[in-house]
Amino acid sequence: MIPEIARFGKWLRRRSPHATTPIHYVNDLELFFAWASKPPSAITIQDVDAYVEHCQAHGHATATINRRLAALRSFYHFLAVESEAAPANPVLPKRHFVRQGRRLPRDVQDADLARLFAGITDVRDRAMFLLMLRCGLRVGEVRNLELGDLYLQPAPGSLPRLWLHGKGDAQRVAYLSPQARRALLDWLAVRPASDDPAVFLNRFGARLTVTGIQARLAGYCDQAGLWITCHQLRHTFARHLVEAGVPVTSLQRLLGHARVRTTEAYLHVSDRQVQADYEAAMAQVSQRLVLEGGDR
């Protein structure tokens, strides 16, 4: 690894010890400099142009390209903080970042969820994935969850809850549904003793990694003949709440979104009022205009 990248990773971990950003950014930087075959001091604006074109030619998603550019820009910002003789930042936002239209969150159909969870018999894994589906946890929040973050026996009138270290190391409270609480208690009853305070441990008694959790889900998906990501379970949690009529401001707090605009995307996925308006309008249109030869 390039020494500057190693120092950058340590710097990120000091600033946000619970975040997964250091892992992703370091990996993105290693990919970039392996492609460029140049030291950081030799990278030019034109190199970044070429890298964006390279990523697009290989079918990388716009969000992935922009994250790699953000990692590279943050890396050169770190170098400037570290030394006055640092090279100029070669990433220019208005020139390099790729414009991205609004993308709606992709949830999972309930029938597919039933197929998936029918095959998850491992007590630990069932608890992890139910926390995503029933409480809206991100995979990194599941990984970071510690025993001291659990409030499973609250005072009368209060719900059992989790104290989470969320995105950007922001803290929030997540409430436990009865199903998720039962699954979590089942796991805690058999969780092996360990010096690691993490709730979810691997077979060596150490904290699971994000990659390890994702790999477990991928294995269950393979058995069920599906492809579902951890984040899609969180998206489905949000859809279920929208369908249950939860106000967008409450949904925002439950998901831990900094801006309500982010949360509003879920209203477009499943808006019962819009569906009802469309259904009523089509009933009127069909009465006025009957098209021969088609479905009635």
For 83-92, the pLDDT digits (tens) are: 888 999 999 9
Q: Which pLDDT band holds residue 264 (cuts at 50, 70, 90)?
A: confident
Please say if the pLDDT value at position 168 is more than 70: no
> How far, in whole angstroms, is CA 5 from its chain's centroid?
24
Boundary residue ending a domain (96, 126, 150) = 96
Summarised one tens digit per residue, pLDDT across range 102-128 is 666 678 889 999 999 999 999 999 999
Summarised one tens digit per residue, pLDDT across range 34-88 is 999 999 999 999 999 999 999 999 988 888 999 999 999 999 999 999 888 899 9
Dist CA 106 CA 131 (whole Å): 18
Q: For residue 81, what are the domain limits?
A: 3-96
Q: Residue 91: what residue type?
A: V
142 and 71 in a single domain? The answer is no
Dist CA 37 CA 187 (whole Å): 47
CATH of the domain at 163: 1.10.443.10
75 and 166 in a single domain? The answer is no
Please say if the pLDDT value at position 226 is more than 80: yes
Q: Report the percent of the chain where pLDDT is more than 90.
A: 55
Helix-helix angle 45-57:21-36, to 10 degrees: 100
Q: How many domains does the chain have?
A: 2
123 and 43 in a single domain? The answer is no
CATH of the domain at 69: 1.10.150.130
154 and 220 in a single domain? The answer is yes
196 and 255 in a single domain? The answer is yes
Establish if 295 belongs to a structural domain: no
Predicted pLDDT at 108: 84
